[in-house]
């Protein structure tokens, strides 16, 4: 077994997956001082981290402070409406102008063949 494989196994925690791998790891650690020192440093770090663990209890007013700092829905909606209002008005005017100036199409004539007004408008205005 190579040193890189041993260190990867130690860091990944895959040592306990099989008994054969564990005995192979133990044999490598017995013969390799560098890997043995790496395993000892790793275990010292893990022990130090476990010793400094504490249960973190969040502040009860934390959620209230965060919620109070967020903008309200009316502020966000008002901002969006003011930004989009000119574009919406321009689009509404464009659509209104297009609808008012175009005459009936061939589809209108075909859908309403008996309506004399549609036929007259189509004849006078041409196909749009």
Encode pLDDT of 73-96 as tens digits: 777 777 777 888 889 999 999 988
What CA–CA distance (Å, rounded) separates 42 from 48? Answer: 10
Residue 103's pLDDT is what? Answer: 67
Residue 68's pLDDT is what? Answer: 86
Instruction: Give the total number of structural domains in the chain.
Output: 2
Asked whether residue 118 is assigned to any structural domain, the reply reads yes
Structural domain span for residue 11: 3-51
Residues of the chain with pLDDT under 70: 14-17, 103-106, 109, 118-119, 121-122, 124-128
Residue 94's pLDDT is what? Answer: 93
Q: In terms of domains, do 47 and 77 share one?
A: no
Q: In terms of domains, do 78 and 47 share one?
A: no
What CA–CA distance (Å, rounded) separates 16 from 10? Answer: 10
């Amino acid at each position: 077994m190579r040193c890189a494989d041993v260190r990867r196994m130690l860091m990944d925690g895959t040592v306990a997956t099989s008994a054969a791998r564990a005995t192979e790891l133990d044999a490598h650690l017995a013969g390799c001082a560098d890997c043995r020192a790496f395993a000892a440093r790793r275990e010292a770090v893990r022990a130090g981290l476990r010793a400094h663990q504490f249960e973190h209890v969040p502040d009860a007013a934390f959620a209230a402070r965060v919620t109070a700092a967020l903008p309200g829905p009316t502020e966000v909606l008002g901002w969006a409406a003011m930004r989009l209002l000119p574009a919406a008005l321009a689009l509404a005017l464009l659509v209104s102008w297009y609808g008012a100036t175009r005459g009936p199409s061939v589809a209108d004539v075909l859908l309403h063949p008996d309506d004399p007004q549609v036929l007259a408008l189509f004849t006078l205005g041409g196909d749009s």
